[in-house]
Structure 1
Amino acid sequence: MKAKLLFAACTVSLLSLAATATAQEMSYPEKCKAMDMAKTDTSSGGDMKMNMSSGGDMKIDTPMDQMGDYQKAVMGNMKSMHDDMMQGMMQKDPDVAFVCGMIAHHMGAINMSEAELKYGDDKAARAMAKKVIAAQKKEIAEMTKWLDKEAK
């Protein structure tokens, strides 16, 4: 139900937006990559890692040669999105961390939507992908503008 309401809100407010730049043409803001990060404990000798399961780092068990073209197209982008989100979330300022994490997250949504447009053939799913691209680009622009103004 929540997803339907969110989708409806995005549809109503974003029908007139055009998506022109691809996700690959967008870049993760430098201010989100800055080394102004919260102190992390690396005394064990390794870098801080995000464990996605009780067994360790996030991983996919399906070999690449067994994946479809869509899955292959999004896998590299998903890793990039995850890495950028983690880096952004480590900013000391919680507001900057939130915005940086959300920019990376939105860029991931654009990448997935672009893969849908390339490989998908369902008219409704393709229409949703176009709306996601438009909505996420608008929000990335707003967040980047905020970041340029507010992040030190």
Structure 2
Amino acid sequence: MKTLVRISLAAAGALSLLAVMPAASFAEMAYPEKCKSEMDMSKMDMMSDGMSGDMGMGDMMTDYQKASMEGMKMMHMNMMQGMMKKDADVAFVCGMIAHHMGAISMSEVELKYGDNEWAKKTAQKIIDAQTKEIAEMNEWLDKEAK
């Protein structure tokens, strides 16, 4: 049940971000059909943490999916906290730090479990670039956040 609550909060946060996003930028983006899950996501509540059903979500996922989910849970929790800051600039930077940490976590999972050289090189580029950006954002927070 805790996982369902976290997922619901993350979804609510994502929807609230969409509400403030300029319409033109969002309209230009479309999530690729090839990226959509074959899993019926409407049954997430039955699979949360294995508490409410005979089979937990972990029983249905591969090791790389489990590792990815752990990173996403942490990213969503941190993003929600960051986006609740009263100062819009601080909220943006805190949210982006969490977002970048999530991208690094996903990239680390790719390096551990992936086998495609292009994907692995891309993952390493993401780690390198976003680690640097996180350091820059932390430096900005130290100077600007009250």
> Same fold by TM-score, threshold 0.5 exceeded?
yes
Query: Counterpart of 1:125?
Result: 119
Structure 2 contact 10–80 (Cα < 8 Å) conserved: no
- 1:70 to 2:64 alignment: yes
Query: Counterpart of 1:52?
Result: 11
Structure 2 contact 10–77 (Cα < 8 Å) conserved: no
- The answer for unaligned runs of 5 or more in structure 1 is 1-48
Give the Cα separation in 1 of the matches to 2:72 and 2:43.
11
Paired residues for 1:36-115 under 5 Å: 50=9, 52=11, 61=44, 63-115=57-109
Length-normalised TM-score, structure 1 = 0.61
Q: CA deviation at 1:50?
A: 2.9
User: Relative CO higher for 1 or 2, CA cutoff 8 Å, sep ≥ 6?
Assistant: 1
Give the Cα separation in 1 of the matches to 2:91 and 2:43.
27
Displacement over 4 Å in runs of 4+: none
2:11 is paired with a residue whose SS is strand
Query: Counterpart of 2:135?
Result: 141
Alpha-carbon distance change, 51 to 148 in structure 1, aligned in 2, over 3 angstroms: closer
Amino acid at match of 2:106: M
- The answer for unaligned runs of 5 or more in structure 2 is 1-7, 13-40, 48-56
CA-based RMSD: 2.1
Give the Cα separation in 2 of the matches to 1:149 and 1:59.
44
Give the Cα separation in 2 of the matches to 1:91 and 1:59.
31
Give the Cα separation in 2 of the matches to 1:60 and 1:73.
20
Give the Cα separation in 1 of the matches to 2:123 and 2:10.
29
Alpha-carbon distance change, 143 to 124 in structure 1, aligned in 2, over 3 angstroms: same
Count of matched residue positions in the alignment of Structure 1 and Structure 2? 100
Amino acid at match of 1:90: M
